[in-house]
Amino acid sequence: ELKVTAKEPIQWRSGRAGGERLLFIINPENEQKVQVEVPESLLADGMAVYDLTAEQELKIKQQKDAKQFTVEIPAGEYALIRWPAES
């Protein structure tokens, strides 16, 4: 299961579309960094994670049994993140 955390309230939803997993994060408050932790079953080694809103690849950090990345979202904005769906 995904873990999406931030200092201030956010809303998020995740799902599959075709061969990809999409993560929508809405930030109604102040600009903030959002931490996303993804189990290895959903994000295997070598898979790239893209922030479609910022048009950039995100840096992935290896945790014990998961992968983690950070998304910076301006106040009142959203992020749309994509990576290949697990096989």
20-27 β-sheet, strand order? 11-17, 20-27, 77-84, 49-51, 56-58
Which pTM value belongs to this model?
Answer: 0.91
The residue-averaged pLDDT of 28-47 equals 92
CA distance 20 to 86: 8
Residue 50 confidence (pLDDT)? 97
Tens of pLDDT along 42-75? Answer: 998 889 999 999 999 999 999 888 999 999 999 9
CA distance 6 to 27: 9
CB 8 within 8 A of CB 32: yes
